[in-house]
Chains A and B, each alone.
Chain A
């Protein structure tokens, strides 16, 4: 396995990129403005693309360069552009009635990161330096998944829910880049196109909701039903 003999420079670069992308998840969690979510998501995708490229460089997987370019292109440019279009059409600029205030959701997020660290620490069996990177990658992967779920549960705008889903997916992608860098290229491409379709479907759904229900907030939609 490539991570078993990682040197200290590689460990630093991987952990910096991973930690910075976790930080951007917290930026998303701590902000009310939909536009900020999208910017943070785009920046996070660029960081993950840089991570793929650096793993590809250090571990000698040339196909990871292709994945890096595709990630930067799709997750870093196309998806944010589509989301921005949805937001522009919605005329909802910020999350007004989130279940939790940003500050308390940040605290909850921190607790979830600790939980992820405990789990990752239990799953680790490797020695020394590679253990740091493995535990860190697992922690960040799990905590980005948890934070994505948290965003899905406490926010009720449709766009924030898409973004929650995308963050969750980014977390898995980040973890897979570090932990199993030799994943076949085809699967990665399939995932990328899946995401594109998810966002396109959401765009259609949002448009439908705006026309027929007049709102995209899941809370108000609940009230209409019940």
Chain B
């Protein structure tokens, strides 16, 4: 039995929606385990979300409609991106070409843009600081993201992530080419920055270090739950892109049978396990960088992306 395309696309979104807290929980748990403490259960993020959805929401007096609408925009943006990328199946799905990689990148950024606006709108000092820092990071990270996307589309001669996945599956020489390896390195640097991990983002949320947490400091209740869920989904989506489009293109259902879908969920979890362990290692061995050294990991990522483009043109 082959599932219909529409159902497959809904399944992709549901998969991101339901498994994103699990990934976050796993990373937090592993970090604590490496530091030889017990750590929260890997299901703790689900419980947190449940708790927050049952609380009352308090809105600051100075806030306008931007404050109320931003979490919904961020959450919706994260629901749209899984339609565009191969999460469970790499058969080109009907709605997947409504936006190419640049479009996906834009929607991802739109979500964080809405949160930046909300941080400024809330009128809180920390919200302003967080938004300013987040904008500075975005200025440093966006060029790398765009260059990585340009590099992978030069490699695959197409702008759709599904095509990239097919190319890497079918041609071992494309997989092992220097351009692709550099793109993996560049995207890994980007992954650490965009998912609030250590070289830049602090693992403990103290006010002086906060970047992403500071922007949403004023939120409470269901709106906060939406924001947290959106950031977990963003993490899940970036991991999916990293695994299915860059690093490990194997283990995705091609026909779209129910059993195949189940298999790809299992494969996805295994792949995330590997990437999450790498991220946890980085988080454990790295200390947080000073504010004025933020550009260093991002410059390294940028350099890798440029090298990838140069080598895809020369070799």
Measuring CB to CB, which residues of chain A are less than 8 angstroms from any residue of chain B? 7-9, 11-13, 15-16, 19-20, 23, 132, 136
Contact = CB atoms under 8 A, between A and B. Distances in A.
A9 B173 contact: yes
B311 A12 contact: no
Contacts of B182: 19
12 contacts: A9-B172, A11-B315, A12-B172, A12-B174, A12-B175, A15-B178, A15-B315, A16-B177, A19-B178, A19-B311, A23-B307, A132-B315
Question: When A and B form their complex, which 10 residue pairs have the shortest distance between CB atoms, in order from nearest?
Answer: A8-B173, A12-B176, A12-B177, A9-B173, A12-B173, A19-B178, A16-B178, A9-B172, A13-B176, A16-B181
Interface string B163-191: 00000000111111110011000000000
Contact of A20 (B172, B173, B175, B181): B181
Interface residues of B, number: 13
B261 to A, nearest CB: 31
Contacts of B174: 12
Contacts of A136: 315
| Dominant secondary structure at the A interface | helix
Contacts of A132: 315
A106 B182 CA distance: 19
Contact of A9 (B176, B307, B311, B315): B176
Given A12-B178, A19-B311, 4 more contacts: A8-B173, A11-B315, A15-B178, A19-B307
Nearest to A132: B315
| Dominant secondary structure at the B interface | helix
Contacts of B315: 11, 15, 132, 136
A16 B181 CA distance: 7
Contacts of B177: 12, 15-16
Contacts of A20: 178, 181
Q: Which of B172, B175, B315 has the most CB of A within 10 A?
A: B315
A136 B171 CA distance: 21
B217 to A, nearest CB: 38
Contacts of B172: 9, 12
Nearest to A16: B178
Interface in B120-177: 171-177
Interface in B294-315: 307, 311, 315
Contacts of A19: 178, 182, 307, 311
Q: Which of B171, B175, B181 has the most CB of A within 10 A?
A: B181
A114 to B, nearest CB: 11
A75 B171 CA distance: 33
Contacts of A15: 177-178, 311, 315
A172 to B, nearest CB: 21
B210 to A, nearest CB: 30
B312 to A, nearest CB: 11
Nearest to B304: A23
A136 B173 CA distance: 16
Q: Which of B175, B178, B181, B182 has the most CB of A within 10 A?
A: B178
Q: Which of B171, B176, B181 has the most CB of A within 10 A?
A: B176
Nearest to A18: B178
B28 to A, nearest CB: 30
A135 to B, nearest CB: 9
A104 B178 CA distance: 25
Nearest to B174: A12
Nearest to B175: A12
Contacts of A23: 307
Contacts of B178: 12, 15-16, 19-20
B172 to A, nearest CB: 5
A116 to B, nearest CB: 13
A8 B181 CA distance: 15
A11 B181 contact: no
A9 B315 CA distance: 13
Q: Which of B174, B177, B307 has the most CB of A within 10 A?
A: B177
A139 to B, nearest CB: 10
Given A16-B181, A19-B178, A20-B181, A11 B311 contact: no
A23 B186 CA distance: 14
